[in-house]
Structure 1
Amino acid sequence: MSSILTNTSAMVALQTLKGINSDLSRVQSEISTGKSVGSAKDNSALWAISKVMESDVQGFKSISESLSLGESTIAVARQGAETVTDLLTEIKGKIVAAQEENVDRGKIQTDIDALTSQIGSVVGAAQFNGLNLLKGTEGVDILASLDRQESGQVTASNIAVARQDLSADAGVYGTGTALSANSVASAGPIANTGNTQSITFANTADSSSDTFDITVAGSTLSFVGADFGAVTEEVAIDQIAGAINALGLEGVSASRTGSDLVLTSTRAFEDVDVTFSGTGVTDDTVSIAERAENVTFSQVSQVNEGDGYRVTVGSTVATYIAGQGETFEDVANGLKAAIDSADVDGLTTLVTTDANGAQVLKIDNDSATSITTFTAVGAAGGEASGGLFGLDGIDVSTNAGADAALANVEVLIQNSIDAAAEFGTAQGRIEIQAEFIGKLTDSLKTGIGTLVDADMEEASARLQALQVQQQLGVQALSIANQAPQSILSLFR
């Protein structure tokens, strides 16, 4: 049946042409924008995923900038620490030269003061955009990544960079919790006399049948009673003492008290072993204790930032406040530097480890008088001393000062080396992270492109096909619209 009111063919052709035009419009949009999913109506799921990923890309671009800023800041700090190390090495060379007696120590001290001042300038100038990692103890967090969980929660992760204080600041002693139990001073006073051990001989010590050996600090003397001749025991002991003194052992002397041979040692930081055996004496080994007094630090307690320790030696009060991550070895070295800086006549110090593994600060007195006041205390809640604490107190104008400076500068050099190494590690880590973020950003962009970018080869082919279809659709619609005209022929 033909109808002039309803043209079914035209309707079909029209719908077909509309579909073709819609597809053609979409393909043209893909070609012009380069995207197959340009908005949420194109594909809401893919569009939503792509937008989340695009936001992450923008975040990673900001992270890359943060890493670049952090890397530059740490590079400045590392170079500053390396420069300080070089300057401290120069100071060590000056100190070594001052060990000689026939040098102008005044001029050497002038050079050391100039280098010390230069170190202060380097530390003060080692900042980037106002941030100086060579001063203070508070760490710095550098934004390193955004971590997206499966739940969609996003958290930021940081690279923590610890400051490495290379200032010579003394710090501030705190008034917090008492820490005196962590540093125990031996029972004073700090005597200026030697320690002794006695050997008691039998009444037959002058007998020709007596033979015995005495070993003092590794040197052995052998005696035969007949060699003394017909003398009293006291005379024989005097001869033995004379033989020991003739060895010329540093800090060791022998004398007689009654019928005892008395051995005396003024060695500051070394015990002297004495062994005697044979007839006329009782076989035994004794030890003459070192003259120095000790401050022994805890083996089990932890050192926290701001923990201060104070040692009083006579009228000298030495104070050191621990920084972040320091140990009792650092505390002992800091107190040693403080005591040495006071330049007390006859006072020498040494930091060592005892048989139990505890850190020990040894203090010896070689002055004309004993020191009666000797205490050690501690308290929390202070402000840390600088990593180069004691640098300002280096003084090579005297023999004792030159000797003390040689040990102290080694600690300072190690501190600066450790600081430079820490910065180098952090800088390397940031470089790796920056490289990773760059690759991750590229991967995300590639993933986004895979989801929403148009396949231009396919779009080009489809465009040509749709253009042909459009032309055919127009022709088909034109033919369908002409169909009612044929009905007029029935009425002619």
Structure 2
Amino acid sequence: MTSILTNTASMVALQTLKGINNNLNSLQNEISTGKSISSAKDNSAVWAISKVMESDVKGFEGISDSLALGESTVAVARNAAETVTDLLTEMKGKIVAAQEENVDREKIQTDIQALTNQIKSVVGAAQFNGLNLVTGTEDVNVLASLDRSSDGTVKASDISVSRQDLTTTAGVYGTGDTAIAANITASASAIDSTGAANQLELTIAGAGTDDLTLTINGKSLTIAHNADRDAMMLDAAGQINALGMTGITADEDAGGTGQLNIINTNAFETFNVSWNSGGTNTIAAVNNGDTTQNVSAATGSNSNILEQRAEEVVLDKNAAVNDGDSYRISVNGNDFNYIAGKGETMEDVAKGLKSAIDAGNETGVATKVTQNDAGEWVVMVDYDGSDTTAGATMTLSENGQAGGTASGGLFGLDNIDVTTDSGADAALDNIETLIQNSIDAAAEFGSSQSRIEIQSDFIGRLSDSLKAGIGTMVDADMEEASAKLQALQVQQQLGIQSLSIANQSPQSVLSLFR
């Protein structure tokens, strides 16, 4: 049936052409924008995912800038620490030269002061955009990543860079409520300049008839038997003194008791004394310096250790060291403090206290840091008795308090003085500690800089991967689009031709009425 009111073929052809035109418009939009999904109406789920990922990429671009800033700041600090290390090494050469007595120590001290001022200048200038990592103790966080969890929440993560304080500040002693005095213990005795407390008393008792053999640090002596025990011990004292051992003296007690006194006045050196009576002499031995090694009446071979003259301040190896922990050693009424910084150990505290005492320039006082057999760090304090105004001995005490402000990593540098023998000796020990502190600081900064560089490289590659992933989801396949375009253009032409034919169909009805 042919109708002039309803042209079904024309409607079909028109709908087909509309569909072709819609597909062609969509394809042309893909070609012009380069995206297969350019808006939420194209594919809402994929579009939403792509927008979240695009926001992450934008965030990572900001993180890259943060990492670049952090890397530059750490690089400045590392260069400063390395420069300080070089200057301290040069200073060590000056200090070594000052160990000789026939050099102009005043001129050497002038050079050391110039190097000290240069170190301070380097530390003060080592800032980038106002941030200086070689002063203070608070950590600095560098934004390193944005971590998105499966539920969509985002958390920022940081790279923590530890400041390395290379200033020479003394710090501020703690005034908090937490006392840590139990972590530091001084000897009960005063600092004895004579060394009498480190005295071994050997007494011949009974009617022995054999010679006496003594060995002091590997050097053996034979004292011929003498019925006069006082004369026998006087002979022993003469032989010991003839050895010329530094700090070792001996005398015979003139009280008619047959007693030999061996005294060690060395500041930081112990001596081993052993004796063999030959089996017939009975020897009573008492060590006034170490009651744990007292020897009662005995025959045969025995030995004892003559401890050094210096007194000891022992730091508890099991105690934690916190930022601001303040430790004090008082010598002759003068307080010498060291305040620990973040991450320091009891070794650092011991060396810091040594530097503090050395900086005080107490007349006749020398120090040394060592470890005892129990693994505890020990500050040894010696007094040689040269300060006649202080009397024969000097008092020694200790204290500890939390809540202080940390001393600088180069604490003690300001007080290096090589113009005296004792100052030159102390400087040689302390410069090693300062050099190690600056080396540790440079190494810490180097490690942080390396980590930041690795993270920066990772963030760059991660951004590239995210961009590629987004492109895979929303970018148009141009090869496929080109092929579709040509096909749709052909379909469009055919659709127009079909619609034209369909529209001509009613015209044929006119021929029926002619």
**1:199 partner amino acid:** L
1:458 matched residue in structure 2:
480
Which whole-Å CA distance do the structure 2 matches of 1:277 and 1:196 have between them?
19
Map of 1:435-446 to 2, 5 A cutoff? 435-446=457-468
Q: Structure 1-normalised TM-score?
A: 0.97
Amino acid at match of 2:354: K
Q: Which moved more, 1:409-418 or 1:176-185?
A: 176-185
Match of 2:243 among 227, 247, 254: 247
Which residue of structure 2 aligns with residue 232 of structure 1?
Answer: 228
The question of whether the paired residues in 2 share the 8 Å contact of 1:313 and 1:371 is answered with no
Alignment of 1:270-309 (within 5 A): 270-279=269-278, 280=281, 281=283, 282=299, 283-309=301-327
Partner-residue secondary structure (3-state), 2:407: coil
CA offsets 1:34-85 (integer angstroms, 9 cap, x no match): 0000001111111111101100100100011110000000000000000000
Q: C-alpha distance in 2, partners of 1:353/1:3?
A: 115
Structure 1 CA distance for aligned equivalents of residues 423 and 79 of structure 2: 31
The answer as to whether partners of 1:189 and 1:370 remain within 8 angstroms in 2 is no
2:385/2:393 contact within 8 Å kept: no
Shift of 1:477: 0.7
Question: In the TM superposition, what is the alpha-carbon distance from 1:372 to its structure 2 partner?
Answer: 3.9
CA deviations 1:397-452 (Å, max 9, x no partner) are 00000000000000000000000000000000111111111111100010000000
Structure 2 counterpart of 1:349: 367
Separation in structure 2 between the aligned mates of residue 397 and residue 345 of structure 1, nearest angstrom = 14
Aligned residue in 2 for 1:389: 411
Shift of 1:221: 1.3
What CA deviation, in whole Å up to 9, does each residue of 1:278-298 have, x standing for no partner? 332433212222211111111
How many residue pairs get matched?
485
The equivalences for 1:110-259 within 5 A come to 110-176=110-176, 177-194=178-195, 195-204=198-207, 207=209, 210-225=210-225, 232-257=228-253, 258=255, 259=258
Give the drift of 1:112: 0.3
Confirm or deny that 1:430 pairs with 2:452. yes
Consecutive unaligned residues in structure 2, runs of 5 or more: 284-298
Alpha-carbon distance between aligned partners in 2 of 1:101 and 1:375, rounded to the nearest angstrom: 34
Instruction: Give the residue type in structure 1 aligned to 2:204.
Output: F
Provide the residue aligned with 2:2 in structure 1: 2
Distance (whole Å) between structure 2 residues aligned to residue 315 and residue 186 of structure 1: 16
Moved more, 215-224 or 244-253: 215-224
Kept after mapping to 2: 8 A contact 1:298/1:359: yes
* Partner Cα separation in structure 1 for residue 268 and residue 223 of structure 2: 30
Which residue number corresponds to residue 291 of structure 2?
A: none
The one of 367, 392, 401 aligned to 1:379: 401
Partner of 1:324: 342
Residue 491 of structure 2 aligns to a residue whose secondary structure is: helix
Q: Is the 8 A contact 1:272 1:289 kept in 2?
A: yes
**Which amino acid in structure 1 is aligned with residue 407 of structure 2?**
S
Deviation at 1:204, TM superposition (A): 3.8
Aligned partner of residue 350 in structure 1, secondary structure: strand
Counterpart in the other structure of 1:62: 62
Residue 385 of structure 2 aligns to a residue whose secondary structure is coil
Q: Secondary structure at the match of 1:135?
A: coil
Aligned counterparts of 2:367 and 2:330: Cα–Cα separation in 1: 13
Q: Percent identity?
A: 61
Q: How far apart in 1 are the matches of 2:339 and 2:57?
A: 46
AA aligned to 1:293 is: E
Measure the CA separation in 1 of the matches of 2:201 and 2:393: 25
The 2-side partners of 1:71 and 1:367 are apart by 54
Q: Following the alignment from structure 1 to structure 2, what is the Cα–Cα distance between the partners of residues 217 and 316? A: 37
Deviation at 1:203, TM superposition (A): 4.5
SS state of the match for residue 326, structure 1? coil
Cα distance in 2 for residues equivalent to 1:110 and 1:372: 32
Aligned AA (1:261): L
* 2:286 match: none
CA positional deviation for 1:370? 3.2
For the 8 Å contact 1:308–1:379, the answer to whether it is kept is yes
SS in 2 for 1:201: strand
Partners of 2:88 and 2:434 within 8 A in 1: yes
* Alignment match, 1:95: 95
Aligned residues of 2:134 and 2:165 also touching (Cα < 8 A): yes
Question: Are the counterparts in 2 of residues 141 and 161 from structure 1 also a CA contact under 8 Å?
Answer: yes
Specify the alignment match of 2:268 in structure 1.
Answer: 269
Runs (5+) with no aligned partner, structure 1: none
| TM superposition shift of 1:4 | 1.0
How far apart, CA to CA, are the structure 2 residues paired with 1:296 and 1:193?
22
Q: Distance in 1 between matches of 2:475 and 2:261?
A: 98
Conserved in 1, the CA contact under 8 Å of 2:223 and 2:232?
A: no
Asked whether the 8 Å contact 2:329–2:336 carries over to 1, the reply is yes
Q: 3-state SS of the aligned residue for 2:458?
A: helix
Aligned to 2:508: 486
- 1: CA distance between counterparts of 2:160 and 2:334? 40
- Aligned counterparts of 2:420 and 2:333: Cα–Cα separation in 1: 21
In structure 2, distance between residues paired with 1:378 and 1:342? 19
Over residues 81-128 of structure 1, what are the superposed CA-to-partner deviations in whole Å (9 max), with x where a residue is unaligned?
000000000110000000001000000000000000000000000000
For 1:192, the aligned partner's letter is S
Q: Over aligned residue pairs, what C-alpha RMSD do you find? A: 1.2
Q: Distance in 2 between matches of 1:237 and 1:311?
A: 41
Aligned to 2:292: none
Deviation at 1:273, TM superposition (A): 1.5
Q: Distance in 2 between matches of 1:138 and 1:232?
A: 73
Contact kept, 8 Å, 1:188 with 1:372, in 2: the verdict is no
> In 2, distance between residues paired with 1:239 and 1:449?
101
Deviation at 1:136, TM superposition (A): 0.2
- Tell me if the contact between 2:71 and 2:453 (Cα under 8 Å) persists in the aligned partners: yes
C-alpha distance in 1, partners of 2:114/2:142?
36
1:20 Cα deviation from its structure 2 partner: 0.5
Report the CA distance between 1:223 and its aligned residue: 3.4
Deviation of 1:471 (Å): 0.9
